[in-house]
Structure formats: structure tokens, C-alpha cells
């Protein structure tokens, strides 16, 4: 089922604060902004899909007595409250797509910290119809055996070089970034593109990557080789993060559309039918 995002509203419909690292062992307060978007091709078993990436901060979690937790966990609590008030659809009829980098140092006092993000995924899985996505270059999932067990938990779909059929939607994913293979969650250009082409051959409706394409005119940052690999990808929706785009939507190559959610949360609703 081809998905196409028609637009994302320019003003957030909900905002809450979190702490992010600001250098020198200090942190600062920064808003998490939630935007409404509309898309054609959301399958009939869902009312919405939440899309997010690069949530590298902490915030008080009410269910934990106000203790600081990864902001992705707090986001789920915020989404549940919004759904209860009818602002967004019920989370049981909402999918979730995570494009990586969900970790922060516990006190948000260290930039570029790397650590375990299973708690964020499990929070989404506990409330949503399903959660699918990829590893960012600052994410870990325990040992290799831990990761295998985690990937088999109910409603969790951690993707890397593969696809999963989620109701009427086929979602593929390529985790990590192009970089020095000796570093965590990085692989050389050839290996990354090989994995990407393998997924594209499976004909996904949505391709999730942490490291995404650039925009052909060079106004939006990303990797040009990833963009060039999207030839003949008409109708594909690419969801990515890793670098911030001023505008979240772009047509990037071969008819593919990219939705960049670095530091954004977008709640995609079904495109209203024309009268």
C-alpha cells in the first residue's frame, strides 16, 4: 500500500519540555514538538502512525513519580494522555515508526552519549498497535543475544536489511549510518548500500533509515549515495533522521518522498477524502 505524505503542519499541536546536553557537563531545557500530518495510504486497520527520531534527552515520567527517564518513554505517556482526551486517535489503532537515536545520558549532561534504548521501544509496544524502526548510531540493545530476544518481543520490529508486513503496510529498514565500521552502528558505503538495495528489492511501502538521503539541490543534508540508490523508487516513503531538515518533507529521487523527523514527532492521520 503506497504511502504519500501530503503535508505536515508548520506549527506544533502539542509541546512539552525535556532536558538535553548543552556541553561542558551541563544541560538545558528544550521543547519536544508534536506536529500533525496527513498521508494517503495509511492501512484500514490503523487510524494514525506516529513517527519520531533523534529524541536524545530526558524528562520527568509521571508514572515513575517524576523521575527522569528517556524522553521517548515520556513521549508515549504524553501521547496516551492526548489520545484519552480525543486529540489524537486511540494508541491501540496507531502504529509507531522510530528512526533511531533515542538515548541520552541519565542527567542529559553528556553530548553524544550512547546506551540502551529498549525501554523506549517497550513503552511504545505496550500502548501502540506495533512499533517498527531501526538502530541509530547512539543506540544499543544489550548483548547480541539480548538484541535477538528483544526483536522477538510482541509488537516490536527492529529492522536492519529486512522487511516486515504490518497489516496492509510493508515496512523495511536499514539501521546505523555510513561511517567507520570499527565504530558502533556504522558500516562502509558498500555494505550500507548493499543492505539498502536488498531491502528495496523487497518492495517496501515505507523504508526507515537513520542515515537518510540528501536533497538533490543540496539544501537538505544527508548522504548523496543514499539518494542515488533510490532510483526507480516511485511511490516509496523514506523516513529518516540523523541530521535536521528545516522542512521535514522532500521529493528526493526516482519518485521517492522523504520525511525527516530528526528532533520532531509527527502524528500522521489518514488523508481526508475529497468532497
* Tens digit of each residue's pLDDT (9 = 90 or more) over 96-110: 999 999 999 999 999
Please choose, from the candidates 101, 23, 102, the residue with its C-alpha nearest in 3D space to the C-alpha of residue 69. Answer: 102
pTM of the model: 0.96
Would residue 1 count as lying in a domain? no
Mapped to the 3 state alphabet, what secondary structure does 56-86 carry?
CCEEEEHHHCCEEEEHHHHHHHHHHHHHHCC
pLDDT-derived band of residue 274, with 50, 70 and 90 as boundaries?
low
CATH of the domain at 128: 3.60.21.10
Domain membership flag for residue 69: yes
Residue 268 has pLDDT above 80, yes or no: yes
Q: Which 3 state secondary structure label does DSSP give 240? A: strand
- Quote the number of domains for the chain: 1
State the residue range of the domain holding 204. Answer: 10-270
Dig out the grid coordinates for 265 from the structure. 514527532
The confidence score (pLDDT) of residue 184 equals: 87
Domain presence at residue 42: yes
Residue 84 lies in a domain: yes
Mean pLDDT computed over 126-133:
98
Give dist(CA 144, CA 165) in Å, integer: 24
Confidence of residue 233 (pLDDT cuts 50, 70, 90): confident
pLDDT higher than threshold 80 for residue 253: no
8 Å CB contact between 147 and 141: yes
Q: Which sign does the torsion angle of CA 100, 105, 107, 109 carry?
A: negative
Within a domain: 275: no
**Res. 166: pLDDT tops 90:** yes
Predicted pLDDT at 272? 72
Spell out the residues 6+ positions from residue 111 whose beta carbon is closer than 8 angstroms to its own.
21, 22, 23
Tell me what the pLDDT averaged over the chain comes to: 94
Of residues 119 and 151, more confidently modeled = 119
How far CA 14 is from CA of 23, 119, 166, 257, in Å, comes to: 27, 23, 28, 25
Q: What is the percent of the chain where pLDDT is above 70?
A: 97
Tens-digit pLDDT profile for residues 64-99: 999 999 999 999 999 999 999 999 999 999 999 999
Contacts with 190 (C-beta within 8 Å, 6 or more apart), sequence order: none
- The answer as to whether 4 is a domain residue is no
Q: What is the pLDDT of residue 252?
A: 86
In a domain, 5, yes or no: no
C-alpha–C-alpha distance, residues 210 and 264, integer Å: 13
* 219 occurs within a structural domain: yes
Per-residue pLDDT band for 231 (boundaries 50, 70, 90) equals confident
For 252, list phi and psi in degrees, rounded to 5.
-115, -35
Tens of pLDDT, residue by residue over 182-230, are 998 999 999 999 999 999 999 999 999 999 998 866 668 888 899 999 9
Q: Residue 2: which of 59, 30, 40, 52 has the closest Cα? A: 40
Amino acid at each position: 500500500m503506497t504511502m504519500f505524505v501530503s503535508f505536515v503542519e508548520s506549527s506544533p499541536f502539542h509541546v512539552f519540555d525535556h532536558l538535553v546536553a548543552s556541553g561542558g557537563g551541563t544541560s538545558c531545557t528544550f521543547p519536544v514538538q508534536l506536529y500533525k500530518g496527513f498521508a494517503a495510504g495509511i492501512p484500514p486497520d490503523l487510524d494514525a502512525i506516529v513517527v519520531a527520531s533523534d529524541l536524545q534527552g530526558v524528562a520527568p515520567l509521571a508514572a515513575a513519580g517524576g523521575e527522569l527517564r528517556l524522553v521517548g518513554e515520556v513521549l508515549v505517556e504524553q501521547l496516551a494522555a492526548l489520545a484519552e482526551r480525543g486529540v489524537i486517535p486511540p494508541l491501540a489503532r496507531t502504529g509507531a515508526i522510530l528512526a533511531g537515536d533515542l538515548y541520552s545520558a541519565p542527567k542529559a549532561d553528556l553530548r553524544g552519549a550512547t546506551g540502551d534504548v529498549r525501554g523506549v521501544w517497550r513503552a511504545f509496544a505496550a500502548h501502540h498497535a506495533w512499533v517498527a524502526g531501526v538502530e541509530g548510531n547512539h543506540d544499543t540493545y544489550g548483548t547480541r543475544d539480548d538484541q535477538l530476544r528483544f526483536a522477538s518481543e510482541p509488537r516490536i520490529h527492529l529492522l536492519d536489511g529486512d522487511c516486515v508486513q504490518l497489516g496492509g503496510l510493508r515496512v523495511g529498514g536499514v539501521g546505523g549510518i555510513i561511517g567507520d565500521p570499527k565504530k558502533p552502528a556504522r558500516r562502509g558505503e558498500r555494505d550500507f548500500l548493499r543492505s539498502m538495495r536488498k531491502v528495496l528489492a523487497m518492495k517496501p511501502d515505507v523504508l526507515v533509515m537513520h542515515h537518510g538521503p540528501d536533497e538533490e539541490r543540496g539544501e537538505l543534508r544527508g548522504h548523496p549515495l543514499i539518494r542515488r540508490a533510490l532510483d526507480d523508487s516511485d511511490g516509496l516513503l523514506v523516513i529518516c533522521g540523523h541530521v535536521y531538515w528545516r522542512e521535514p518533507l522532500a521529493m528526493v529521487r526516482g519518485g521517492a518522498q522523504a520525511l525527516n523527523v530528526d528532533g520532531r514527532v509527527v502524528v500522521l492521520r489518514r488523508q481526508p477524502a475529497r468532497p
